[in-house]
Amino acid sequence: MVLTSLMTFYVLVETDFWLLSIWLILGAILQSASLIRLLERHQNELKNFLLGIQQNDFTNSYSNTKTGEKSNELHMAYNAIIGKFRQLKHEKESNYHFLQTIVEHSLVPMIGYYEDDERVTLINDAAKTLFNKPFFKTISRIKSINADLYNLIIKLESGGKELIKVFIGNELLNLSVSVKEIKMEDHLYKLVSFQNINRELEANELESWQKLIRVLTHEIKNSAIPISTLTEVVNSMIIDDSGRLKDLSVLKQDELDDLHIGLKTVEKRSKGLVNFVNAYGELSKLPQPNFKETEMKEVIDSVVSLLSTDLKKSNIDLKLNITRHKLVIDPELIEQVLINLIKNAKEALINKPEATILIESHKQNNIYQITVEDNGSGIDKETLQNIFIPFYTTKKEGSGIGLSLSKQIMQAHKGAIHVSSVPEQGTCFTLSF
């Protein structure tokens, strides 16, 4: 174009070949039009390419047979980018269908909905069967099935899990409801899963009853059999063969002593049975917690100051590693739990050289934990399975309700108590809030 323009100017000024200059001018015009058309074509191709990406349309393709090396390279670049997007789109769709298939075939009922407008976009076959509904437009549809369940779903935050008893149809179900929140395109999306744990609860409940009945039977037999036997012996001492009461004045001194010992034993075992029944009543009447915001370090310090003197007398070294943290608890009930654990640790350290109790606290993943650890005799596996059963005890003077009561208190705080132990090395109890 530059060369043509210069030649045109030269012919017009320096020569008389005006016809040639006209042809040169026409040539310059054609060259300009060709350049404009080339630019417009590339601009349209770029616009279509970008619009296709914006609209997720990757069906376009660009020929590599165009004249011009640069044009050919540009088309190859477009085709390479479109091919990559096609591959990513295919992988995305494959993953989506794969996950959708997993959700659909999952035995765990699931419902997914947008939190802002409660619009349901996912409900698998298990959820349809659970609620006996083929379709949910919004999550508020659950309100017509059970209002408490709907309120629980709305209330639960991401990672939350809670048990609820609901009537669906004419059947009472124990549902474990868990929620996970996902941010999708500036919207909060909730995935709710439901697990009917009726069978598991019934199995655990039956096992718990069986264990409790075994313990109750053992404790009652321990008192009832000696009472029955001693009563029979005493009765034979004061009743003759004809069934009449003997004259006690004719009994020898050693017989009177045996009679006195027998009656004292009957009295002692009877009182033990009464105390056992009273302990059962105490266990079943856990007071309602009085929740308030409490500094946990102050609670632990209070328990330590109460028991430190007794621990020193027993030559037990008490170590503390406590962080300051506030929780909404009933401080008196939690103090009772800590007292039980420390006393158990003390009893496990009898005649133990270099006896140590370590109390630590820390917070991890939004869970505050207190550990009470000792280096005592430890607990064997069989006993470890039963220590939280009411009235189960390996101590001669123990009632067997301390750990069971502690577990109830932690459950009332929506917390948990766990134990780990290695025989002859020590035991660690963990309170999780």
CATH fold for domain 201-283: Helix Hairpins (1.10.287)
CA-only gyration radius of the chain, Å: 42
> Mapping DSSP to helix (H, G, I), strand (E, B) and coil, where does residue 343 land?
helix
d(CA 410, CA 388): 12
Residue 67 clears pLDDT 60, i.e. is over it: no
Q: List, for residues 287-336, the tens digit of each pLDDT value.
A: 678 888 989 888 888 888 878 878 888 888 888 888 888 889 888 888 88
- Highest average pLDDT, of 51-65, 124-138, 223-237, comes from 124-138
Residues 26-32, mean pLDDT to the nearest whole number: 89
Residues 172-201, mean pLDDT to the nearest whole number: 82
For position 126, what pLDDT does the model report? Answer: 86
Residues 260-270, mean pLDDT to the nearest whole number: 73
Q: List, for residues 107-141, the tens digit of each pLDDT value.
A: 788 888 888 888 888 888 888 888 888 888 888 88
Let me know: does 337 contact 410? Beta carbons within 8 Å: yes
Residues 411-426, mean pLDDT to the nearest whole number: 86
Q: Phi, psi at residue 271, to the nearest 5°? A: -65, -35
Q: Phi, psi at residue 294, to the nearest 5°? A: -135, 140
Question: Of 34-43, 66-75, 346-355, where does mean pLDDT reach its minimum?
Answer: 66-75
The highest-level CATH class for domain 106-196 is alpha beta
Residues 80-108, mean pLDDT to the nearest whole number: 79
Q: What are all long-range contacts of 44-53, with beta carbons under 8 Å and residues at least 24 apart? A: 45/74, 45/75, 45/78, 49/78, 49/81, 49/82, 52/82, 53/85
For position 229, what pLDDT does the model report? Answer: 73
d(CA 148, CA 140): 12
> Mapping DSSP to helix (H, G, I), strand (E, B) and coil, where does residue 244 land?
coil
Nearest 5°: the CA angle 8, 12, 18 is 95
Give me the residue spans of the domains in the chain. 2-96, 106-196, 201-283, 292-432
Transcribe 200-243 into DSSP letters.
HHHHHHHHHHHHHHHHHHHHHHHHHHHHHHHHHHHHHHHB-TTS
Confidence category of residue 2, pLDDT binned at 50, 70, 90: confident
d(CA 157, CA 326): 21
End-to-end C-alpha distance for the chain, whole angstroms: 82
Q: List, for residues 146-167, the tens digit of each pLDDT value.
A: 888 888 888 888 888 888 888 8
Confidence category of residue 18, pLDDT binned at 50, 70, 90: confident
For position 30, what pLDDT does the model report? Answer: 92
**What's the half-sphere exposure (Cβ side, CA atoms, 13 Å) at 282?**
15
For position 222, what pLDDT does the model report? Answer: 63
d(CA 360, CA 375): 14
Give me the chain's average pLDDT, please.
79
CATH fold for domain 292-432: Heat Shock Protein 90 (3.30.565)
Token pair recorded at residue 405: 């009561």
DSSP 67: S
**What's the half-sphere exposure (Cβ side, CA atoms, 13 Å) at 414?**
9
SS3 content of the chain, % helix, strand, coil (to 5): 55, 20, 25
d(CA 207, CA 424): 29
- Residue of 256 and 12 predicted with greater confidence: 12
- Highest average pLDDT, of 180-184, 367-371, 398-402, comes from 367-371
> Mapping DSSP to helix (H, G, I), strand (E, B) and coil, where does residue 115 land?
coil
Residues 193-219, mean pLDDT to the nearest whole number: 70
Residue 373, classified by CB atoms within 10 Å of its CB into exposed (0-12), middle (13-18) or buried (19+), is: buried
Residue 396 clears pLDDT 60, i.e. is over it: no
For position 214, what pLDDT does the model report? Answer: 67
- Residue of 156 and 402 predicted with greater confidence: 156
Confidence category of residue 70, pLDDT binned at 50, 70, 90: low
For position 223, what pLDDT does the model report? Answer: 65
Confidence category of residue 283, pLDDT binned at 50, 70, 90: low
Residue 310's Cα: distance from chain center in Å? Answer: 38
